[in-house]
A and B are shown apart, each in its own frame.
Chain A
């Protein structure tokens, strides 16, 4: 299969959560965690999804990872509709890695049993499976002897390596990484990030890398999608996003990270702290935006192509 073809595509993907009133349990409102998301992910790339807590990035990962059923829309994986069910031959081709390596492993299972489980579901014999476990432990930089260890005997970084090995063992083509290093220390984080990059190169896997940390996204990704209130407000190649950020929210996010050079200027843009509102007929960022115009009050902006591989949902860049 050729590099650059579309491996996963979503069309108007939606995931709404109902918020019910306390007494009569009537639906009061919706949290539109993922709202009208249409993205194309190319084979072999790393797409980073960035945004603050509540932006919907984790829900997007869970829907794409088939852990949640979408409210509406379509997911196409290798041109097959997998919105509601995954064909047998695609079992194990989409895998997830979560943030917390402490709760991701069953404390009563030895590492080898945790790793073998996905293979058993795929009807692979025990002998072959154990060989695979040894191979994948080695791939993530752990000695074979760790097979007989329990999770509590490992450090956070080692556990995360085990979780990565468990995700890789079914030979996935698409790996969803949800904040895989945000609970780790700096020196462990750099180990895991480098490991993930080298595995990607070796195995030609496509990554969806979910993170709140733009600095990590800059290191890992080829393309960046910025989420706010369930929508992707800006998406584009890494250099487009970092050198030419367009959406006011992207600019605000970028300005919040200081460079480690103490002589550099750090002038973060400080937005209002407000709860996110899921407006339908105006821009969702309007309450925080310092550049809002009349137009933003009346319509919801749609994707505007600003340059090759760079789209933004903002009227500032609309023609006329």
Chain B
């Protein structure tokens, strides 16, 4: 049984100007425990919506179709699933400002495991240690913690639920780089050692290459390429993936000139006909302008592009 299997997921939002499509026909799966799948894309590509859909946290004006199976059980259409833990970008907004870290963490054990308070606090202590926070943090309030410490406290809470799946939505975007490195490594090591599958949502492809096992590249509400990180880096198939890798400066070499993807990502209320990337694609043909490419299998990898069809 796969920890996560999403088939043909489509999500739309109802707005004042009518329906807009956030996700179209998404297929993906996480095949084993401890596997990390990164969703990489620019803002508006649908990566956060995908995370929310899996967690059952879509807003009331959203309509979803398709199927999301977590350990074989259908999760779509069900209310929030407590076996899916979500770590958001803004830790301060995720923590209760009037409770100490210890109280918030112990609360989880009191409610879900029916432990008494003393035992719950003991257990909370153990979970804080896992993320490298000492006992003294039990009595601290969220505002007393630094950004990285708050994010680590959140990670410990995510783990406390003994989740079947973790969704980390840009967990370190608001942090300084040195702190970011620390938080991400704590998260990755815990997920790997406990064996929890994770969806890691990020716009930073370099980080995804070091945290994840496989990478799904998203563009305009679709997964346009999905395969192992090694394939994506060494032999990207989709023109957008290729362009994306060439358009980021890198830390380990001097780039003479950055590649530029002309134009801007399309608005969800007016996706172009045919392939959604065709107005920006240097290789677009007439077919790309009229027919939307299906996700096709190329040597075990998935890509949405007519070049390979």
Residues of A that sit less than 8 Å from B by CB: 52-53, 155, 157-158, 185-188, 190-191, 193-194, 212-216, 218-219, 238-239, 242, 252-264, 266, 268-271, 273, 275
- Note all chain B residues with C-beta closer than 8 A to A261: 209, 233, 252
CB atoms of B210 and A266 under 8 A apart:
yes
Q: Please give the distance in Å from B77's CB to the nearest CB on chain A.
A: 32
In the complex, B259 has a CB within 8 A of chain A: yes
Task: Name the residue among A52, A216, A261 with the largest chain B CB count within 10 angstroms.
Answer: A261
Within 8 A of A (CB), among B197-224: 203, 205-207, 209-210
CB atoms of B250 and A260 under 8 A apart:
yes
Asked if A185 meets B265 with Cβ closer than 8 Å, knowing A268-B182, A268-B185, the reply is: yes
In the complex, B261 has a CB within 8 A of chain A: yes
- Note all chain A residues with C-beta closer than 8 A to B255: 218-219
Residues of B that sit less than 8 Å from A by CB: 42-43, 146, 148-149, 176-182, 185, 203, 205-207, 209-210, 229-230, 233, 243-245, 247-252, 254-255, 257-262, 264-265
CB atoms of A190 and B207 under 8 A apart:
no
Having A269-B178, A270-B185, A275-B146, one finds 9 other A-B pairs with CB under 8 Å, namely A186-B203, A186-B248, A212-B177, A213-B177, A254-B251, A258-B206, A260-B206, A260-B233, A260-B245
A-B contact pairs, 6 of them (CB 8 A): A52-B176, A218-B254, A258-B206, A258-B251, A259-B250, A275-B146
- Note all chain A residues with C-beta closer than 8 A to B259: 190
CB atoms of B265 and A187 under 8 A apart:
yes
Task: Name the residue among B181, B209, B255 with the largest chain A CB count within 10 angstroms.
Answer: B181
Q: Which of B148, B247, B251, B262 contacts A215 (CB 8 A)?
A: B251
- Note all chain B residues with C-beta closer than 8 A to A255: 181
Tell me, in angstroms, the Cα distance from A218 to B206 when the chains sit together.
15
Tell me, in angstroms, the Cα distance from A257 to B181 when the chains sit together.
8
- Note all chain B residues with C-beta closer than 8 A to A157: 264
Tell me, in angstroms, the Cα distance from A275 to B145 when the chains sit together.
11
Tell me, in angstroms, the Cα distance from A59 to B182 when the chains sit together.
27
Tell me, in angstroms, the Cα distance from A256 to B257 when the chains sit together.
24
Q: Which of B245, B251, B262 contacts A214 (CB 8 A)?
A: B251
Asked if A190 meets B250 with Cβ closer than 8 Å, knowing A253-B178, A263-B230, the reply is: no
B207 and chain A: residue at smallest CB distance: A258
- Note all chain A residues with C-beta closer than 8 A to B203: 185-186
Q: Please give the distance in Å from A238's CB to the nearest CB on chain B.
A: 8
Asked if A256 meets B181 with Cβ closer than 8 Å, knowing A190-B258, A218-B254, the reply is: yes
Tell me, in angstroms, the Cα distance from A260 to B148 when the chains sit together.
23
CB atoms of B182 and A270 under 8 A apart:
yes
Asked if A271 meets B258 with Cβ closer than 8 Å, knowing A259-B250, A259-B251, the reply is: no
- Note all chain B residues with C-beta closer than 8 A to A271: 178
Q: Please give the distance in Å from A1's CB to the nearest CB on chain B.
A: 28
CB atoms of B251 and A257 under 8 A apart:
yes
Task: Name the residue among B176, B180, B255 with the largest chain A CB count within 10 angstroms.
Answer: B176
CB atoms of A219 and B258 under 8 A apart:
yes
Q: Please give the distance in Å from B15's CB to the nearest CB on chain A.
A: 17
CB atoms of A260 and B258 under 8 A apart:
no
Asked if A218 meets B178 with Cβ closer than 8 Å, knowing A187-B42, A260-B209, the reply is: no
CB atoms of A268 and B261 under 8 A apart:
no
Q: Please give the distance in Å from A94's CB to the nearest CB on chain B.
A: 27
Tell me, in angstroms, the Cα distance from A253 to B177 when the chains sit together.
7
Tell me, in angstroms, the Cα distance from A253 to B176 when the chains sit together.
10
